[in-house]
Amino acid sequence: MIAPFCSVKGLSVRYGQEVALSSVDLDIVKGERLAIVGESGSGKSTLARALAGLLPKRVKIEGEITWPALGHAPLPGRDFGFVFQDPGTSLNPVLTIGEQVAEAARQHLRLDWRQAYARAEELLERVRIPQSASVMRAFPHQLSGGQRQRVVIAAAIAANPALLIADEATSALDVVVQAEIVRLLDGLVREEGMTLLFITHDIALASGFVDRVAVFRNGELLEAGPVRSVLSSPSHRYTAALISSHRDLSTQPLITEAVS
Ligand SMILES: Nc1ncnc2c1ncn2[C@@H]1O[C@H](COP(=O)(O)OP(=O)(O)O)[C@@H](O)[C@H]1O
Ligand SMILES: [Mg+2]
C-alpha cells in the first residue's frame, strides 16, 4: 500500500466549549482532488487550518495528523498553498500585484527580486491572466474579483507546493467566474501533480471535478468516497439532502451518468 500523503487520526478540535471537529479519521492520497463538503459551521475550515498548522494556540486539539509522504510537518507557502474565500482580504491593497506575487516567490524560492518578478509574471500567465505585464503593475482594486482570485492562486502556487487548499475559494464569485476558477484549479493540479483539498458548501460544484468527496456535519465526518458512488448511493440521508438541496445535478454529464 502506498503511504497516504496525509493521515488524520481521531482528530478533535474544540474552541472553548464549542466542538468544531469530533474524532475525524481521514487519509488524503497524493495527487487526488478531495472535496470537503458540508454546511456552514460543519468544521470544514477548522479541518483545513488544523492540516495547515494554522489553528490559534488556545484551541484544544486531540488526535494526530501525519504526513507520511512528506516526512515532516508541511510549511505554509512551501509545502502547501492556501486560497481563501475572499480575494479582497488576501491581497494587500497598497502593494502592486507584481510585488505581492514576487514576494511569495522570493520568500519560498530564495530568489532575488529580479528573478522573483520574472517568476511572478510567469505565474500570472500560468493562472491565465491576460496582459500579465500590465497586471503586474496594477493594484488589487483595479482587478475584478475573479482576476484577484487568480492572483491569490498564483501566489499560493509560487513555490510549487505539493498541496493546494482552497477554502470556499469560489464562494464569493458569481456562477460564471466560479466555473472558470474551478476549471483553472483543475488544470493546475493536473499539470503540477498537486494534491487539492477543495472545501465548499456546494457539493454540486465540487462533484463536477473532484475524485473523492468527504461529507461533514457538525464536526463529524459522515462519509467519504469516490464522487460517483457518494452521489449515486449516499450512505447518509444528510448527504442525500445535501445533494438534492443544490442546483440541479442532472445538468452535469458526470452525474447524469452516475444516476442512470
Ligand atoms: N475562532 C473560533 N472561535 C470559536 N468558535 C469557532 C471559531 N472558528 C470556528 N468556530 C466554530 O467551530 C465550528 C466549525 O466552524 P468552521 O470550521 O468555521 O466551519 P465551516 O468552515 O464548515 O463553516 C462552528 O460551530 C463555529 O462556530
Ligand atoms: Mg469555512
CA of 84, nearest ligand number:
2
H/E stretch holding 146:
helix 145-156
In the block, residue with C-alpha cell 467566474? 177
Q: Look at 35-44, 91-100, 230-239, 242-251 and tell me which has the smallest mean pLDDT.
A: 242-251
H/E stretch holding 163:
strand 163-167
Q: Model-level pTM?
A: 0.92
Give me the DSSP letters along 205-225: HHHTT-SEEEEEETTEEEEEE
Query: What are the structural domains, with CATH classification, of the chain?
Result: 1-72+162-260 (3.40.50.300), 75-156 (3.40.50.300)
Residues 6+ apart with CB under 8 A from 52: 74, 76, 80, 82, 165
pLDDT of residue 125: 97
The pLDDT tens digits of the residues spanning 193-225 come to: 999 999 999 999 999 999 999 999 999 999 999
Distance from residue 45's CA to the centre of ligand 2 (Å) = 4
Q: What is the CB neighbour count within 10 angstroms for residue 150? A: 25
Q: What is the dihedral of CA 27, 29, 32, 33, to 10 degrees?
A: 20
Which phi-psi region, left, alpha or beta, contains residue 226 (left: φ > 0; alpha: ψ -120 to 50)?
Answer: beta
Distance from residue 49's CA to the centre of ligand 1 (Å) = 11
User: Residues enclosing ligand 1, CB less than 6 A?
Assistant: 15, 18, 20, 38, 40-46
